[in-house]
A and B are shown apart, each in its own frame.
Chain A
Amino acid sequence: MAEYKRDEKVAFNGKKVEILGSTFEEGKPETPMNWRKKLRNREEILAYLKTGERYWFSDEWVGSEKRKTKA
């Protein structure tokens, strides 16, 4: 497994916190990060929408709204 950099930072309340260091690559992206192209067909897109965009498209998802009945 890759070694992650760790860093110590001060939160706005003054407390010290240990956090994961930067994981992104240095430099500038040459091409757009077109993550949407990874989904190859309708089936995969709809499956992604049900999970990734579950806030709107999953019947099970209620989050902190704590109720399943529509307003």
Chain B
Amino acid sequence: MSDIEKKSIDPATIEMIEKAHIDGCETIFDRADVMKPCPIGAEGSCCKHCYMGPCRVPAPKKKEGALEKIRRIGLCGATAETISARNFARMVAAGTAAHCDHARGVAKVFLATAKGEVPEFQIKDEQKLYQVAMDFGIEIGDRPIREIAIDIGERALAEFGRQEGELIFLKRAPLKRQEIWRNLGVAPRGIDREVVELLHRTCMGVDQDYQDLLISAARCALADGWGGSMISTELQDILFGNPVPILGQVNLGVLKKDEVNVVVHGHEPLLPEIMVGVLNDPDIQQAVQSVGAKGINLAGMCCSANEILMRHGIPVAGNFLQQELAIVTGVVDAMVVDIQCEMQSLAQVAKCYHTKLITTSPKAKIEGAIHIEFEEREAQKVAKKILMEAIENFSNRKTNVEIPSHVADMVVGFSHETINYLLGGFFRASYRPLNDNIINGRIRGIAGVVGCNNARTTHDDPNLTLIKELIKNDVIVLTTGCAAITSGKAGLLTPEAAKLYAGDGLASVCEAVGLPPVLHMGACVDNSRILMAATAVVKDGGLGDDISDLPAAGAALEWMHEKAIAIGHYFVASGVFTVFGTVWPTTGSEPVSRFLFEELENSLKGKWGFEPDPRKAAKLMIEHIDKKRKALGIDRARERVLFDMAKRRELDAA
């Protein structure tokens, strides 16, 4: 295997890395070779929380004795444990802030929509509106949709600044889970409050008990999963529609040589939704013709892609590590970015070709990019302006154009509501068939495989190997984010994949229902959908009375973002065994890692795991699933025995 082949298992990615080399364009794959991670920072042993430091307290190469332990402290006396836990907690706070600030933006647009202030947005999903109204305790009756929506918008926004009590969506969780949170004092009060408090706790000279820090981080993370992220998902569903099964295509091969290509990249669906709506505008179509293009091709990247894929079937050009490579094809006329996961290097790569890099969020500008700010009150005007920039740029393409031919079909759009409907049908929508098949052993368990790509490991390999291993062992996989895009590229998001890749038990269930063995549930804020699906399984019955009782596990083997740590920590705090790969940010402190990997299970009933080898990670997850099956008494598949009258009489007589 050549050095380049070690960078990705995706042939389209390899082809474009090679093209970038020929074109003399540097990408993240090159920088990853040259710049190695700082070993002290990588293990979480560097503190720069005050400027008497930075203090570095790296873990000793050999087992430390009592004397060395004493020496591993910062100038202020902060121990290696405090430093490690503070660094971890800050990642949770930052990740939570990212998801929740996204949610705040959505809530503001939602309220403006309800008030009729942004006519280009509408309430599209009445069912979801009533769902959320009932959750929020808002009267429905005969009230106009607009009034209900205004109440929802105001209540949702109030969740951010709430000072006391509990976030409203916590009561969606299983009752036992709610008790666990309350007993531990980790039920989040308000979204902003938990982020601010955690940042305060991690300042120099505040919380210096590593266990307390990590438990507080759980409270903050829960404000993400059952707060900000859930608010994003729900309000986006009301505005743009709850996802339903839809066909889409994925990989760089979705780009078109003879069309104007616009790639939307980032996380917020607001602008991309409007762009989808104006693609057929006569002005746009006329402009496309005038530059000699055959059409205009909108494609997505990362989670913006997942959002418009799930709702409109818009093709996905790739996941996180393919963002620069889309530009390397030489046919992207504009890359339009909003917030999160956009590499600053896009500006440099765009310069190697003709691509216009356009930033749109007032919160996320990039030096060297064109800034066209998204203003929701003029959404269509902004969308058209951006598309016109791309169209004008079509004729500036250089000669070094090459689009990989790789493209795969996929069926996406499995919201937890849609899974419920598909499993049971219209008149008996239910998770019962899933629970029954878990109980009878055809499905061994459930796994959530989510998260990013990481340039420190082979692109797509850990996630794909893990997912294949899980479905082969009859574990159904729920996926979101870049891991979902990986699955799509490998052909795992089609019903036919069940026969090809899944174990016989899982394949039989998938074939009967017509489901893929890997269900694409959305963008990374939509991990909240996984929480809801897990809760529905608990509430349906027969598999314990808490998420921690389920034969289930989670993973993000290619994680890299602070958001992933926030997600992982809210899954753990919701009772899930969650395995991360590639790197682990607390290896500098054995007690901190032990607390996260083992001791947390005593209180939160969930725990972290770390395993870079995907096959070993699958083994860990399957062992955990089997342990839970055993605890539930379903470790041996039991065929249901139907008693006839004679047998019943025998029983009565006994």
A3 → B minimal CB distance (Å): 15
The answer to whether A29 and B247 touch (CB under 8 A), given A21-B511, A42-B130, is yes
What per-residue 1/0 map shows which CB atoms of B475-518 lie under 8 Å from chain A?
Answer: 00000000000000000000100000001110111011110000
Contact count band on B:
35 or more
- Whether B182 sits at the interface, judged by CB under 8 Å, is yes
Given the contacts A7-B508, A63-B538, A71-B175, A42 and B131 also touching, CB distance less than 8 Å: no
B417 contact set on A, CB distance < 8 A: 36, 52-53
Q: A2 in the interface, Cβ–Cβ < 8 Å?
A: no
A22 near B511: Cβ-Cβ < 8 Å: yes
Known: A53-B131, A63-B538. A35 touches B244 (CB 8 A): yes
Q: Which residues of B contact A22 (CB under 8 A)?
A: 511-512, 514
Task: Report Cα–Cα, A18/B130, bound state, in Å.
Answer: 41
- Closest-by-CB residue of B relative to A41 is B126
Interface membership of A65, Cβ < 8 A: yes
Residue A1 is within 8 A (CB to CB) of chain B in the complex:
no
Q: Which of A11, A28, A38 contacts B247 (CB 8 A)?
A: A28
Interfacial residues of chain A within 30-57, with CB under 8 A of chain B in the complex = 30, 32-36, 38-39, 42, 45-46, 48-49, 51-53, 55-57
What is the minimal beta-carbon distance from B472 to any residue of chain A, in angstroms?
10
Interface size range of chain A in the complex: 35 or more
**Residues of B contacting A52 in the complex (Cβ-Cβ under 8 angstroms):** 417, 420-421, 424, 426, 429-430
Let me know if B420 and A53 touch, CB within 8 A.
yes
B444 near A12: Cβ-Cβ < 8 Å = yes
- Interchain CB contact (< 8 A) of B442 among A11, A25, A36, A67: A11
**Residues of chain B with a CB closer than 8 A to A36's CB:** 125, 127, 241-242, 244, 417
Contact with A along B132-174 (1 / 0, CB 8 A): 0011000010000000000000000000000000000001101
Q: How far is the CA of A8 from the CA of B513 in the complex (A)?
A: 16
With known contacts A22-B514, A49-B127, A65–B244 Cβ distance under 8 A = no
Question: Given the known A-B contacts A12-B505, A17-B505, A64-B545, are A32 and B413 also in contact in the complex, defined by CB atoms under 8 Å?
Answer: yes
Q: How far is the CA of A42 from the CA of B143 in the complex (A)?
A: 11
Are B313 and A32 touching (Cβ within 8 A)? yes
The reply to whether B544 and A64 form a contact with Cβ atoms under 8 Å apart is yes
Nearest chain A CB to B211 CB, angstrom units: 25
Q: What residues of B have a CB within 8 angstroms of the CB of A35 in the complex?
A: 244, 418, 421, 426
Nearest Cβ on chain A to B530's Cβ, whole angstroms: 15
Decide yes or no: A64 and B418 within 8 Å by CB, A11-B637, A17-B442, A32-B245 being known contacts.
Answer: no
The reply to whether A34 and B244 form a contact with Cβ atoms under 8 Å apart is yes
The answer on a CB contact under 8 Å between A55 and B313 is no
Which one of A13, A20, A71 has the highest number of Cβ atoms from chain B below 10 Å of its Cβ? A71
Residues of B within 8 A of A28 (CB): 247, 409, 411
Cα distance, A42 to B246, chains bound together (Å)? 25
Chain A residues with CB under 8 A of B431: 55
Cβ of A42 and Cβ of B126 under 8 Å apart?
yes
B636 touches A13 (CB 8 A): yes
Partner of A12, one of B427, B474, B541: B474
Q: A19-B512, A71-B182 are in contact. Are A55 and B540 (CB under 8 A)?
A: yes
- How far is B179's CA from A22's CA once the two chains are assembled, in angstroms? 42
- Chain B residues, Cβ within 8 Å of A67: 175
What residue of chain B has the Cβ atom nearest to residue A15's Cβ? B637
Bound CA span A7–B142, Å: 50
Would B505 and A11 count as touching, CB distance under 8 A? Answer: yes
| Complex contacts, A23 vs chain B, CB 8 Å | 512-514
Please tell me which one of the listed residues A33, A49, A61, A71 contacts residue B176 in the complex, with CB atoms under 8 A apart: A71
Is the beta-carbon distance between B247 and A66 smaller than 8 angstroms?
no
Q: How distant is B48 from chain A, measured CB to nearest CB, in Å?
A: 42
| B246:A64 contact, CB within 8 angstroms | no
Query: In the complex, are the beta carbons of A11 and B441 less than 8 A apart?
Result: yes
- Which residues on the B side are within 8 Å of A45 (C-beta)? 126-127, 130
Q: Does B113 contact A (CB under 8 A)?
A: no
Give Cα distance in the complex from A51 to B426, angstroms. Answer: 10
Interface residue from B131, B313, B542 paired with A64 (Cβ < 8 Å): B542
Chain B, range 380-409, C-beta contacts under 8 Å to A: 409
In the complex, B261 has a CB within 8 A of chain A? no
- Give, as a whole number of angstroms, the nearest-CB distance from B598 to chain A: 27
Closest chain A residue, CB of each to CB of B135: A56
Given contacts A35-B426, A36-B242, contact A64 B512 (CB under 8 A): no
Listed from nearest, the 8 A-B pairs whose CB atoms lie closest are A24-B514, A64-B541, A52-B429, A55-B539, A9-B504, A22-B511, A63-B541, A71-B175
What are 7 A-B pairs at a CB distance below 8 A? A10-B504, A11-B440, A11-B442, A30-B247, A45-B127, A61-B539, A63-B541
Contacts beyond the supplied A22-B512, A70-B171: 18 A-B pairs with Cβ under 8 Å:
A9-B504, A9-B505, A9-B507, A12-B637, A20-B512, A28-B411, A30-B247, A33-B245, A39-B127, A45-B126, A46-B130, A49-B134, A55-B539, A55-B540, A57-B131, A64-B539, A64-B541, A71-B178
Interface residues of B (CB under 8 A from A): 125-127, 130-131, 134-135, 140, 171-172, 174-176, 178-179, 182, 241-242, 244-247, 313, 409, 411, 413, 417-418, 420-421, 424, 426-427, 429-431, 440-442, 444, 473-474, 495, 503-505, 507-509, 511-514, 535-536, 538-545, 636-637, 639
